[in-house]
Amino acid sequence: MRTAFYISDGTAITSEVFGHALLSLFPVEFQHQTISFVESVEKAHEARELINKTASRSGEPPLVFHTFVKPEIREIIDSCDGIIYNFLEHFVAPLEQQLGVTAKPKAHRTHSIHENSYDYRIDAVNYALANDDGGKVDNYEHADVILVGVSRSGKTPTSLYLALQYGIKAANYPFTDDDMDELKLPACLKMHKNKIFGLTIDAQRLMDIRDGRMSNSKYASARQCRMEIREVEKLYKKEKIPFLNTTKFSVEEITAKILSETGLQRYKY
């Protein structure tokens, strides 16, 4: 199996994002390995040695995605036995020409604690944790969005991803079996209806997820899952609540679709 390395003198998040995006275009399996905070010549030599050993062992040159700022470290990595993809080098010169400004590289700048979005994201994460699963319903006026849906439809991971990545305050509220006899929006949600976004999921997928948590229970039964999904989707349509079926989407895709449909302001940059 071909190995892909993601290396940086910072978090290596940028290398991972670009590298994964490119490799996802190809129907090939890769062994992924991330090496972050290669901030010294010594660490650069260690990383190069690891790449060279991998190349020797596999018989194929690894793919190396990197975003180094320091030229002396970049040169060491570039001399390895891998195939180099340097994203910064590829785009910096054309941008300098277009902007008429010389780039001033600085390590950790893209993920710095001093970036404008940092406080937004930390506050949003705290908010998501405090308002998870309907645990607190008295401060929804501070929410940017309120996710609703049946248990295990993806509300919590989506709330946290919105908070951590975009600084968006997302509360979430579950519709439970006790609500199903006469499902309607509770007062705490009705007064913030403009913030509500619904999640749904295919009944079979919901049953599989729940069975992993509470096997052979009413909670995980096909009948219960079908009934709950039917009732919440009926509610969404009746109340004209926008909703999304999460079955075939990752949390990143779910989040992107919510942002696209709601037009929420992002605090990522």
Distance CA 267, CA 253 (A): 18
Q: What are phi and psi for residue 21, nearest 5 degrees?
A: -60, -40
Does 87 lie in the same domain as 173?
Answer: no
Show the domain range for 233: 118-262
pTM of structure: 0.72
pLDDT digits (tens, 9 = 90+) for 130-177: 999 998 899 999 999 999 999 999 999 999 999 998 999 999 999 999
The count of residues in the chain is 269
Q: 252 and 125 in one domain? A: yes
Does residue 62 sit in the same domain as residue 144? no
Q: Identify the pLDDT of residue 265.
A: 84
C-alpha to C-alpha distance for 81 and 51, rounded to whole angstroms: 7
Is residue 231 classed exposed, middle or buried when 0-12, 13-18 and 19+ CB atoms within 10 A define those classes?
A: middle
Whether residue 174 is contained in a domain is answered as yes
Least confident of 31-35, 127-131, 132-136: 132-136
pLDDT digits 0-9 by tens, 170-225:
999 999 999 998 899 999 999 999 999 999 999 999 999 999 989 999 999 999 99
CA dihedral in degrees (161, 167, 169, 172; nearest 10)?
Answer: 0
- pLDDT of residue 268 exceeding 70, the answer is no
CATH number of the structural domain spanning residue 45: 3.40.50
Q: Which of 55, 83, 111 is the last residue of a domain?
A: 111
The reply to whether 123 and 246 lie within a common domain is yes
Whole-angstrom Cα distance, residue 48 to residue 259? 40
Q: What is the pLDDT of residue 267?
A: 77
In this prediction, what percent of the chain has a pLDDT beyond 70? Answer: 94
Torsion-angle region of residue 78: left (phi > 0), alpha (psi -120 to 50) or beta? alpha
Which H or E element spans position 34?
Answer: strand 30-35
Spatial CB neighbours of 126, under 8 Å, sequence gap ≥ 6 = none
List alpha helices for the chain, DSSP H.
13-23, 41-58, 71-78, 87-99, 118-130, 155-166, 187-190, 203-213, 222-239, 251-262
20, 83: one domain:
yes
Domain final residue pick, 54, 78, 111 = 111
**269 is a domain residue:** no
Residues with Cβ within 8 Å of residue 186, at least 6 apart in sequence: 137
Of 111, 146, 176, which marks where a domain is finished? Answer: 111
State residue 105's pLDDT score: 65
Q: Give the residue-averaged pLDDT of 246-253.
A: 94
Distance between CA 135 and CA 99 in Å, rounded? 49
Domain count, the chain: 2
The string of pLDDT tens digits covering residues 53-111 is 999 999 999 999 998 888 899 999 999 999 999 987 778 878 888 999 987 766 655 55
CB 34 within 8 A of CB 6: yes
What is the predicted pLDDT for the residue at 211? 94
